[in-house]
Amino acid sequence: MVVNTEIAGIAMGDAHPVRIMGAINLSSESFYKGSVTGPEHVIATAKRMVTEGADLLDVGARSTWPLADKITKEEERRRLILALELLVDNVNVPISVDTQFADLARESLELGAHIINDVSGLTTDPAMVEVASEFGCPIVVMASENIPGDPLGMDAVMRSLDGIIRKSEDAGISPDKIIIDPSIGKWLPEKAPMYDFETLDQLERLKVFQKPVLVAISRKSFIGDLLNKPATERLMGSIAATAIAVYKGAHIIRTHDVADTADAVRVAEAIRGRNVSAEYSGYSIEALDVVNTEDAPGYFARIGVTGTGARVMKDKTVLRVLRINNVTTTEALIIKQEALSRGCDAALPRDAVSHETENTDLIVMGTELQLKRLASKLDGQARNLPIISGLIISTLQRFRDTDYRYG
């Protein structure tokens, strides 16, 4: 579904350019020392980022790196307020404040900040949701359940964001003021790189929420773990991941490296193209990008389909095309016959249909529900068809096997 909204005066969504959020890091405890900005350089850094293409600025004074030395809230306040006092009247782009504490968010908004960026997804300070509702400001909420960034895998990210969105909207935050962040990065020790690979590869799943998607990739540890490089040497890895995030549907990219990132964003969004839709005389049609059947009930719910109906229909929403190799011609013909009787189909070469070859390959196509029913039928057949049945089921399961695909 198409995202089209306005955040702090900036149009955002599928029909608008991907926006760049320049990260101004005031925390000397951060893992990437090259990103740290001292108070004497805040204005110069901000103006440089805007010149390089930043549409927004995100100011943070507390490192969210799990291994960083901890600081007091008072120290965070001192750094944050000093920077905001310098920035508010010296830059002409919206300012986001990166904090997990409601009182700091309130003070920042009163000073002139426009957006709250809460990496705890409203879990650290319950009063944060009240501040966002009271000020009517946009808020970035990161996928979190108990502590910042703790969901492991895209299914957990989806469940977490679904709960946070419901909580936010129930508390009075306007639906068009919510920005979602899928929590890229090693937020806890057990979060292996494969979880970030999966999230980026399946980022289009977030479209079901109809919210702007913010992705923060800049020089994070999953890149370092893969390339075995320190933060100072992860720019090219960040650029590659950023391009994929944009191609998969990100609307905002948060980065320390604005100029290089902006180039990657522009190229990736040009290649991505636009969402497929058509309109005429008050009618419209849009193509939905459902890649995981577990997301389908979310799409159904948004048009009022009952929960029971959604559960019945969800396995019909994703088409799979499978090539089955080296079966006998007789087995191939049985598979095609059983496929057709279950609403799917199979493509065979002509010499297999005419029994002019002993073994053949075939291509089977159908929804996940149809293919599961086909596998169930083949499991009770003779020859080696029960083996083919097991392979079909294994293949379908591996679409959702994080360790198999990304580990």
What are the start-end ranges of the H helices in 171-291? 193-201, 221-227, 235-247, 258-272
Tokens describing residue 121: 């997804």
Tell me if residue 289 falls in helix, strand or coil. coil
Query: What span, in angstroms and rounded, lies between the C-alpha atoms of 25 and 46?
Result: 11
Tokens for 114, please give them.
Answer: 């426009």
SS3 75: helix
The reply to whether 274 belongs to the active site is no
CB atoms within 10 A of CB 337: 10
Q: Which of 62, 177, 220, 336 is catalytic?
A: 220
- List Cα–Cα distances, 400 to 99, 143, 202, 252, 294, in angstroms: 34, 20, 11, 27, 10
- C-alpha to C-alpha distance for 307 and 259, rounded to whole angstroms: 46
Asked if 164 and 119 count as a contact pair (C-beta separation under 8 A), the reply is: no
Cross-strand pairs, 324: 362
Active site residue 314: no
CB 323 within 8 A of CB 387: no
Distance CA 320, CA 59 (A): 44
Element housing 391 (H / E) = helix 385-398
φ/ψ (deg, to 5) at 106: -60, -50
Phi, psi of 361 (to 5 degrees): -110, 155
For the chain, how big is the Rg over CA atoms in Å? 25
Catalytic residue among 254, 314, 336, 373: 254
Task: Enter the tokens of residue 198.
Answer: 């999966």
Active site residues: 220, 254
